Amino acid sequence: MSSQEQNHQENNRNAENTTHFGYKTVDKDDKVSMVASVFHSVAAQYDVMNDLMSFGIHRLWKRFTIDASGVRPGNTVLDLAGGTGDLTAKFSQLVGREGKVILADINSSMLNVGRDKLRDRGLVQNIEYVQANAQYLPFEDNTFDIVTIAFGLRNVTDKDMALRSIYRVLKPGGRLLVLEFSKPEHELVNKAYDFYSFNILPKIGELVAKDGDSYQYLAESIRMHPDQETLKSMMNDAGFEQTSFKNLTGGVVALHKGYKF
Amino acid sequence: MESLPKPLLKIMPQLMLQQVMCSALEIIINKALSLNINSNEQLNNLEQKTLAVKLAELGFPLCFSISDCKVLVTKLIDRADCTITTSIKTLRELKKEQHLTELIKQDKLDVEGDIKIAQYFASLAETMDIDWQTELAKHIGDVATHKLVQFSKLVKGKIDFASEQIQADASEYLVHEKQLVVTKSQINHFNQAVTAVNMQTEQVENRINQLFDNLRIKT
Ligand SMILES: C[S@@+](CC[C@H](N)C(=O)[O-])C[C@H]1O[C@@H](n2cnc3c(N)ncnc32)[C@H](O)[C@@H]1O
């Protein structure tokens, strides 16, 4: 084997075993624990920071997601990477006593903050909490009418695997909604957004949450996340049909939707 | 008012003004409900029920769902139990003598689904009697409150009247158009029929008694 071929093979093996953690290239096995440490560290301040960093607009993005979900009384919903449970809270009210919402997250700290918050709001009847990795969902095939993953997919190590796993647990006729940062439509918005994310956001993180690194990761991970069209074709590859997306706030965020038939 | 300006309608989804509107309505309505101790029973009747209101000028539906005595305002039209389609213009023009049925016939208003749900919602809206002045002054000061209250009195007048109309006319609609409810005259008619049957039964009874008497005399 020539040294060139050897190099090539080595690179391939590296590509297979590595992934992005923000702008850094890291071992796939390491990414899980690195993401975990980010969310363990931000869990307590997560909600305050979310409001602060997005000027409260994340609430409207989430409302948009609920409006697009077509949720009905009696539905079974999975709020994947659900963190502190904003979507779970709304879904819990909209599926009623006959329905069920499962808040699933890989991170115990985020789940605990979510559980406490929802209990304080008196939302107890139809919510279950499950610690789970999106890549290996511990649910039967064809369980859910709706699966949502909001600002979660970009943190998942193997996104294709997660999409296939979600597809498996959806009922036929069920739908997936992916709410995630994306690529702004206009160059000007893109520039302003870049400036905000890399210069201001980590500073707010440092000042308020005393954790600039986590918010630097946040900004980098957003840039590394697949753009609208790429994510749409990833969903198609995983088996989803009638896939579509809607840009929100000029494409800073996009809501992707796909069905399992 | 004509429809909202086209550029505004176009930009609404981008700025998510629809979600802003739903969110604001949700806050105001739930605040009003929390101040009203009499609303819980009515809310229980409406658990997990949804009324959708499609206003032509708005370009998107407003859906009011009840969950655990709270109102959720969404655009989830698929879950509506009753949908009212009309326009702000029609609601503004609503005159005392104009009836819901008339508006329906003129295609100015359409009610689809379970009209009782619309009635429940209308009577709930009527019970929301709050001292806006005091409530608002707590948050935004006296001068702003005065201006807002003047404006909202105007709006409230319209809403009160509309809900009165919906309540009064919905029963009329049920009776005449859908023939679902028994009217007073139908009850009178029924009562008269029962009285008549009663009298006839008495007559038959008398007749039988007479026949028995006759038989006894003969034997
Ligand atoms: C930015 S938070 C979003 C929380 C919530 N969905 C929201 O919109 O506010 C991302 C969440 O994804 C979770 N997460 C990261 N990797 C995951 C994985 N592989 N499986 C499940 N959850 C994961 C994190 O623990 C974290 O709670």
pLDDT in tens, chain B (219 residues): 445 566 666 666 666 788 888 887 888 788 888 877 777 778 888 999 999 999 888 888 999 999 998 999 999 999 999 998 988 777 766 654 556 677 777 788 888 898 888 888 877 877 765 555 665 555 555 665 666 566 556 555 666 666 666 666 665 555 555 555 555 666 666 667 667 766 766 776 677 667 767 766 665
Mutate to test the interface with B, among A62, A66, A95, A118 (most CBs of B within 10 A): A66
How sure is the predictor about A146, in pLDDT bands with cuts at 50, 70 and 90? very high
Q: Do B74 and A246 touch (CB under 8 A)?
A: no
Atom 25 of ligand 1: nearest residue by CA position: A107
Residue A255 domain-assigned? Answer: yes
Cβ of residue A150 lying under 6 Å from some atom of ligand 1: yes
Looking at residues A138-159, what average pLDDT do you find? Answer: 96
Which chain B residues in 37-56 lie under 8 Å from chain A, judged by CB atoms?
47-48
Residue of B nearest to A125 (CA): B68
Tell me whether residue A199 is in a domain: no
Q: Please give the torsion angle defined by the CA atoms of residues A43, A49, A54 and A58, in that order, rounded to the nearest 10 degrees.
A: 40
Our answer on whether the CB atom of A134 is closer than 6 Å to any ligand 1 atom is yes
Q: Where are the beta strands (DSSP E) in chain B?
A: 50-55, 61-67, 70-74, 82-86, 110-113
Q: How many helices (H) and strands (E) does chain A have?
A: 11, 9
The secondary structure of B152-169 as a DSSP string is HHHHHHHHHHHHHHHHHH
The answer, yes or no, to whether any atom of ligand 1 lies below 6 A from the CB of A69, is no
3-class secondary-structure state, position A238: coil
Give the closest-approach CA distance of B20 to chain A in angstroms: 7
Give Cβ neighbours of residue A171 (< 8 Å, ≥ 6 apart): A142, A143, A144, A145, A260
Please tell me which of the candidates B13, B47, B65 has its beta carbon nearest to residue A94.
Answer: B65
Give the DSSP H/E element, type plus range, for residue A107.
none
Q: Over the stretch A192-229, which tens digit does the pLDDT of each residue have?
A: 888 888 888 888 888 877 777 888 888 888 888 899 99
pLDDT tens-digit readout, A81-128: 999 999 999 999 999 999 999 999 999 999 999 999 999 999 988 999
> Strand A76-80 vs strand A100-105: parallel, antiparallel, or unpaired?
parallel
Of A91, A94, A100, A89, the residue nearest A122 (C-alpha): A89
Q: Is A29 contained in some domain?
A: no
B63: closest chain A residue by CA: A67
pLDDT at A12 > cutoff 70: no
Residue A196, in any domain of the structure = no
Structure tokens at A202: 């980590």
Work out the mean pLDDT of chain A and round it to a whole number.
89
Is residue A100 one of the residues assigned to a domain?
yes
Tell me the pairing of strands A144-150 and A127-131: unpaired
Architecture label for domain B6-126: 2-Layer Sandwich (3.30)
Give a yes or no: residue A62 inside a domain: yes
Which domain covers residue A102, as residue numbers? 40-185+216-259
A106 lines ligand 1 (CB under 6 A): yes
For B115, half-sphere exposure in the C-beta direction (CA atoms, 13 angstrom radius) is: 21
pLDDT tens digits along A91-103: 999 999 999 999 9
B2 lies within 8 A of chain A by CB: no
C-alpha–C-alpha distance, residues A259 and A246, integer Å: 15
Q: What CATH number is attached to the domain comprising A133?
A: 3.40.50.150
Structural domain contains residue A20:
no
**Residue A38, pLDDT score:** 83
Asked if residues B81 and B51 have their Cβ atoms less than 8 Å apart, the reply is yes
Residue A94, domain member (yes or no) = yes
Cα B39 from Cα B33, distance rounded (Å)? 7
Instruction: Please state whether A123 falls in left (phi above 0), alpha (psi between -120 and 50) or beta.
Output: beta
CB A197 within 8 A of CB A54: no
Q: Into how many domains does chain A fold?
A: 1
Q: Is the pLDDT of residue A52 over 60?
A: yes
Domain with CATH 3.30.1050.10 in chain B: 6-126
